[in-house]
Amino acid sequence: MKITAKYLSIVLFLSISVLCISFGRQKAEWKGTIEKIDGVLNIHNPSEPIKGNAVLEMEEILRIDPADYKNIDLVSFSKIYKDKKGGIYLFDEEEVKAYQFNSNGKFLGSFIRKGQGPGEFEKGFGVSLHFIKNEIWAVRFRKISMFDQNRNFIRDLKFRKGYYPANFVDEDHFIGERQVYEGEGRDLKQLNILSLVQIFNENNKEKIVLDFLKAKNIGLIRSGKFAFADRWETPRIKWLFDRERQKVYTSINTDYKIRVMNLNGKTTLMFDKVFHNAKPTLQEKKEHINKIFATDRERILKAYPNELCAIFDLKLLPKGYLAVYSIKGFESISIDIFDENGKFQYVIEAPDDISLVNAIYTNNGVSIIRVEEDRDIYIEYRIKNLSEIFEQ
């Protein structure tokens, strides 16, 4: 048979195509391992994600700039919330006030204020907003203040113990972190416990239903009687509740390990990834401490750990995905994305001028706080890529 040049070019083209397809599949192949321990799947991810790094393609769709609202005294806010209807809430922790906007950015009014009375909080730090039934619940440690959708105060509920942070399962239960103490004198130890709590039982008092996680001596770095805290190196419980899927994610931030549990307290999945905690140099420690702490710098430097924590934060994404904000160094974070099965899919990045540290993720995008010199600005973006995660 005579082989023509045209025939050879076709064969060569098909061969290259097959090789490209094969290479593409190989590149997307997951290279981790799975083992079953006590009946629970443990997913061990490699250091690199299946699908590589992805820069988010972000299109601004809404901006709330306090400079454009002449009739409100909003200047700074450190927390943002969205309700089920797309309503936006900006919370000023210094003034202890929440500002409500509709999904189009129209200002509707403010509520909550500083004080000790009904619907008031002495300090704004630790206050969080939750949307239960058709109400807005403001929560801090020992108290819930309930408001209707028009910001009218309904009533207060108070607890015997303090819980922070807290997230609601339904109108009768919440998950909250609490502190207890065991032992005496030098043997006194602090326990942080993440618990499922029934708001009121038959005695009109909250009831601990079960504990998801217990951790000793976290929240502070101790050196004798001296102690301090810093968000980059202090051991803490990091956790999330996915109300839609009824899942609880828990972790101790010193290790890159995530436990997934159901509301009965049963572990359903464990996953981790190959990770090496950042080890700052002595000079890096000094520069960081001088920047963050005003006093006791020498004592802090002496007691400062040689390794930073592994996990800075956990955030829920749409469709069961999870963002793990891992620590690469001081003021340096990697946003690692895992699917519902605990497999490491992406490392995502935003364009250079956008910070995702305080972001909240929605079905089709992300909302952030842009910090300007004289004010904070709320910006909402639609994400145009990563269609397997975000609605297009």
- Where residue 59 sits, what CATH number does that domain have? 2.120.10.30
Instruction: Report yes or no on 322 lying in a domain.
Output: yes
Strand, helix or coil at 177? strand
Q: How many domains does the chain have?
A: 1
CA distance 265 to 208: 13
Instruction: Report yes or no on 290 lying in a domain.
Output: yes
Query: Is residue 246 within 8 Å of residue 173, measured between CB atoms?
Result: no
pLDDT-based confidence at residue 22 (cuts at 50, 70, 90)? very low
Query: Is residue 60 within 8 Å of residue 352, measured between CB atoms?
Result: no
CA distance 169 to 386: 29
Please list the residues that pair with 85 across neighbouring strands: none
Q: What's CA 269's distance to the chain center, in Å? A: 19
Instruction: Report yes or no on 348 lying in a domain.
Output: yes
pLDDT-above-70 percentage for the chain: 91
Q: Above 90 in pLDDT, residue 189?
A: no
Q: What domain range includes position 79?
A: 33-383
Instruction: Report yes or no on 233 lying in a domain.
Output: yes
Measured over the CA atoms of residue 275, residue 279, residue 284 and residue 290, the dihedral's sign is positive
pLDDT-based confidence at residue 185 (cuts at 50, 70, 90)? low
Give kind and range of the element (H or E) at residue 13: helix 5-27
Instruction: Report yes or no on 391 lying in a domain.
Output: no
Q: Above 90 in pLDDT, residue 387?
A: yes
Please list the residues that pair with 221 across neighbouring strands: 228
Q: Above 50 in pLDDT, residue 160?
A: yes
Instruction: Report yes or no on 8 lying in a domain.
Output: no
Which pLDDT does position 15 carry in this prediction?
Answer: 43
The residue count for the chain:
392
Q: Above 50 in pLDDT, residue 16?
A: no
